[in-house]
Amino acid sequence: MIASTREQIEALTPLWQGERFEDGRPKVPDDLVKRMELVTTEEAWGVLRRNGYHHQFEAGWLNLHPEQTLVGRAVTCVFMPQRPDVQQVIQERGTAEGRIGGQNSWVIDTLVRDDVIVVDLFGKVQNGTFAGDNLGTSIFTKTQRGMVIDGGIRDTQRIYEMEGFGVFVRGLDPSAIADVTLMGINVPVRIGQATVLPGDVVLGTRTGLIFIPAHLAQEVVERSEDVRLRDQFGHQRLREGKYTPGEIDRKWSEAIEEDFAQWKTSRG
C-alpha cells in the first residue's frame, strides 16, 4: 500500500472522536474549517502550546499570496530521493492499486473539497517542482483551498494568477519533478520542524504555517473568538489610555476583567 489504510490512520489519531472520511482521515466539521479562517497563527499557537504541542509551526516559506489566509484539512505525502529498486516496488504497488499518471497525480487524485495537500519534498526545488499549472489547476479545482510544498513549483506565473489559491513553497524553478519516489500517502510527515498528520487543520498566514491536530480544532476556534473579543477591548482601552501596556500585556487584574465583562455585555 502506498496510502495509509483507514485502520492505520485511526490508530495514529485516537484522540479524534468525530466524523472521519472514508480513508480514515479525521473530518473536522465544515463549520469549524470556515470559522478557522479568522483565527490568527498566534491564537492557534497558544491553544496548541497549552495542550503540550510545541512543534506544529514552521516558518521560512515563499507564500505566493501573503494577503490571504490558507485553511483546510491536510492530505499528506512524502517523497524520497529515487533509487531504482524502491522506485520499481512503488510503481508496481501503484499499478496494482489502479493508480494512474505520475506519482504526484496519485495523491492529487485523492483530494476533495477543503483539503490542503501537504508534501514533504525535503526542500528540493530544482527538479523538485511538485506541480505546474496543470496539476495546480487540478489541486485548486478539487480543494478550492491550496497546497503546502516543502519543495518547489513550476509555471509560477500562471499559478500565481489563480485567484484564491493558497500556495506555500520553498522556491520556484522551471524544471520538472525528477529523481524522487513517492513513499507514502496520508502518513505522518515532517515539514521542517513540524510533524503533520492526515486530517490536521492547516492554517497558513503571513507569519507561516501551523498544523492543528484535528481534536484541537474546536478549542482553537473557540478560544480565538474569545481572544479576538478581548484584544478588541484591550486595544480600545489602550487607545483610550485607560490602561498601560504593562497592565494589558499580562494577566488582567480583576478590575480589568470586570470592565471587560461589562464591555462585552454593553456591545450585545
Tell me if 98 contacts a second copy by CB under 8 A.
no
Tell me if 143 contacts a second copy by CB under 8 A.
no
- State the nearest-atom distance from the C-beta of 34 to a second copy, in Å: 18
DSSP string, 44-104: HHHHHHHTT----EE---EES-TTS-EEEEEEEEEEEE--HHHHHHHHHHHHHTT--SSHH
Do 167 and 159 contact (CB within 8 A), yes or no?
A: yes
Residues 16-35 that bind a second copy (CB under 8 A): none
Tell me if 253 contacts a second copy by CB under 8 A.
no
Q: Which listed residue (23, 219, 222, 247) binds a second copy by CB under 8 A?
A: 247
Judged by CB, which is closer to a second copy: 208, or 268?
208
Judged by CB, which is closer to a second copy: 34, or 235?
235
Short-list 183, 182, 152, 178, CA closest to 167: 152
Tell me if 68 contacts a second copy by CB under 8 A.
no
- State the nearest-atom distance from the C-beta of 246 to a second copy, in Å: 3
Short-list 224, 121, 108, 109, CA closest to 168: 121
Do 2 and 97 contact (CB within 8 A), yes or no?
A: yes
Residues 154-213 that bind a second copy (CB under 8 A): 154-158, 160, 171-175, 179, 181, 183, 188, 190, 193-195, 197, 205-208, 210, 213
Tell me if 250 contacts a second copy by CB under 8 A.
yes
Judged by CB, which is closer to a second copy: 190, or 264?
190
Q: Which listed residue (9, 28, 33, 56) binds a second copy by CB under 8 A?
A: 56
| Buried b or exposed e, range 35-67, using 16+ CB within 10 angstroms | bbeebbbebbbebbeeeebeebbbeebbbbbee
Judged by CB, which is closer to a second copy: 32, or 180?
180
Q: Which listed residue (57, 130, 165, 233) binds a second copy by CB under 8 A?
A: 57
Count residues near a second copy (CB under 8 A): 82
Tell me if 255 contacts a second copy by CB under 8 A.
no
Tell me if 71 contacts a second copy by CB under 8 A.
no
- Could you tell me which residues come within 8 angstroms of residue 108 by beta carbon, excluding any fewer than 6 positions away? 117, 131, 135, 138, 139, 142
Q: Which listed residue (3, 36, 45, 115) binds a second copy by CB under 8 A?
A: 45
Cell readout for 47 is 491553544
Cell readout for 3 is 496510502
